[in-house]
Amino acid sequence: MIYDTSVKSQKIESEIINLVGKALPFWQRLKSGGTGCRRMTIQSSSQDIQKLLEGHSGTNYSSIEIRPKGIIVYLKNNLNTYSWPIPFYRLSIYKSEAFSIHGEGSFVKYEMDSNYEANKKFITKMSQLRLKALEN
């Protein structure tokens, strides 16, 4: 489920926390080397995500945050911010001609540009956390 988080809502926040956990405390984020990535350029996406991004004339960007039980993909369209929480057990990561994240029937494909290169370390960390979570 993709949530409109442009305006804070306690109900939506609690649903996201139930799916992927609370944000890590500040000191733990520093020790782990950060929990977020730089923005990445969206190449294409599933139809449901594409509908959310319609109306934006420029390049679409996205960022990802790691949480204890999954990730949150943040999508921005003009003034609206959307959050797509994906638990590790539903997350699939592919790298071919493009880097893509799949979950719950939706996907986002990212361009393999300089933004991707800057996020390689983060993507490796995310993949390792996913594997560790699936082992448990």
Q: What letter does residue 26 receive in the DSSP assignment?
A: H
Among 56, 62, 58, residue whose Cα is nearest residue 77: 56
3-state class percentages of the chain: helix first, strand second, coil last, to nearest 5 = 35, 35, 30
What are the distances in angstroms from CA 50 to CA 1, 18, 43, 74, 108? 14, 26, 11, 14, 9
Q: pTM of the predicted model, to two decimals?
A: 0.92
Burial zone of 36 (CB within 10 Å; 0-12 exposed, 13-18 middle, 19+ buried): middle
Place of tokens 């923005």: 39
Q: What is the pLDDT along the chain (136 residues), one digit of tens a residue?
A: 899 999 999 999 999 999 999 998 899 888 888 889 999 999 999 999 999 888 767 788 999 999 999 999 999 888 889 999 999 999 999 988 889 999 999 999 999 998 888 899 999 999 999 999 999 8
CATH top-level class for 3-135?
mainly beta
